[in-house]
A and B are shown apart, each in its own frame.
Chain A
């Protein structure tokens, strides 16, 4: 009985984490892969991997950061395995924007704009900018996610921000 309670409690907590973070994680994944379907798969995988870890009896202090970390590693693997989509191809195949929720022309244009700016950033800057400005993660949190020092992360964010600002001025 006690065992069942423990399992259910963890399961409920875990699924609360899903409810809270799935969208943000998906968004993060999308802004790095630009492939909607793959993004969905990776997010699903991340939750499953996170659960496997927890089910082994290991403690997780900050489930949000933990999920981001797993997802980040999956994304890195993805980049290693396949090519990144070029901007031209992206426009050709049509940007994977959710169509169930109707987006007006303005929204579409804005999203395309943001995506094209992001794509112009240097490879490592994209994830720094996404984590800082879209996911609202602190440099410390980003450091635990990517496994770098907080200092490196801060430096990278500053440089990425500078490049981002420059690009936004142009467009």
Chain B
């Protein structure tokens, strides 16, 4: 027992530094400010734990944490409302220039920051899609979105190369794979939507996707280069996360199959089957110790599943149908990478289904707070420097 008690003593040496603790506290406090108690008379922490009985009930003055939004004169309500703004809306600059920028600085790990950069890119694409669908995607909106789109894409690319230079090849491969699939899925979606400005924007998206794919291939090669122990754990790890992704998307489809309709469900399931197939190939490679190849296959399986999810979400958002899954899509893409040629997408119009355009679909994939929720994710700041760009 003595030894086991010792564990606690030693472990207690691991803790947050005072600065780290304060920084996170400020972020949380700001978060609270923008998520007021909605039912004040019922919200309470019960006093069952004796801990709370020790509280001093005198009101204390507001802690001296400065809220960036408070300084800028943006109310919590405005910040919240800005989340659904589109280019041309009054609050759009708040969404892009303040909300997103603030959120960019309140995370600690490079990984969280990188994920957020990718998410920002997706938000621009979703905005373009929404506008185009409403036939409101004009030249001004396009210019605005394009500018931010390029900026976000550059940041993601920068992070990828940063990971690579820090020897985190598989984080680089992971990020570049997600980057590629986001661009690819939205490219598909935009292709389905008519419009003069869309047609001008689409080549930019395609070009980025092409370079994202090249980057991904490069990063996968890095992972394959690594020593066999590292390669093995990278492959096994990616295999595990790809498997979980497939399971998660399967569950997701099950949950909304009624609302999705027969065709879209069949399409999604076909994609998942493909993902499963590719995964199984990856597993075989692991068994034969071809870890580099396994890693590449597992990443691909992950992408296929992720794409299925993005397309389903788009369908529920925009009520647009997608062409039946072409099983050779990914192969074609890889060929394109080799040939550096442009891929042709067939545009097919399908009659719209009975599904409501705006579904309140709960995405189960991540339980983290992120912008997929329709609630505000406005985070405040600690005491950091914020640089912001007011869009238009």
Which chain A residues have a beta carbon within 8 Å of chain B's beta carbons?
2-3, 5-16, 18-20, 22-23, 26-27, 30-31, 35, 37-38, 40-41, 43-45, 47-49, 51-52, 54-64, 73-74, 77, 80-84, 86, 88-89, 93, 97-98, 100-101, 103, 107, 110-111, 113-114, 129, 133-134, 136, 161, 164-165, 168
Contact = CB atoms under 8 A, between A and B. Distances in A.
A48 B46 contact: no
27 contacts: A2-B40, A5-B59, A6-B43, A10-B37, A10-B43, A10-B45, A13-B45, A15-B28, A22-B16, A27-B11, A30-B14, A37-B111, A41-B109, A44-B27, A45-B369, A60-B46, A63-B45, A73-B367, A74-B367, A83-B234, A100-B19, A114-B7, A129-B7, A133-B8, A134-B8, A136-B8, A165-B4
Query: Which of A5, A63, A80, A111 neighbours the largest number of chain B CB atoms within 10 Å of its CB?
Result: A80
B40 A7 contact: yes
Contacts of A14: 32, 45
B240 interface: yes
B383 interface: no
Contacts of A64: 49, 51
A13 B60 contact: no
B350 interface: no
Contacts of A58: 43
A114 B12 CA distance: 11
A16 B11 CA distance: 23
B38 A168 contact: no
A128 to B, nearest CB: 13
Nearest to A99: B17
Contacts of B32: 11, 14, 51, 55
Contacts of B40: 2-3, 6-7
A30 B51 CA distance: 25
A81 B106 CA distance: 22
B362 to A, nearest CB: 14
B174 interface: yes
Contacts of A47: 24, 28
B108 A37 contact: yes
A158 to B, nearest CB: 12
B149 to A, nearest CB: 26
B155 to A, nearest CB: 18
B279 to A, nearest CB: 15
B45 A60 contact: yes
A54 B45 contact: yes
A23 B241 contact: no
Contacts of A136: 8
A22 B55 CA distance: 18
Contact of B244 (A37, A62, A81): A81
A127 to B, nearest CB: 14
B14 A55 contact: no
B252 interface: no
Interface in B37-55: 37-46, 48-49, 51-52, 55
A58 B44 CA distance: 7
B238 interface: yes
Interface string B97-123: 000000000111111100000000000
Contacts of B236: 83
B371 to A, nearest CB: 14
A89 B229 CA distance: 10
Nearest to B377: A48
B44 A59 contact: yes
B110 to A, nearest CB: 7
Contacts of A37: 108-112
B366 A89 contact: no
Contacts of A129: 7
A41 B14 contact: no
B343 to A, nearest CB: 29
B43 A83 contact: no
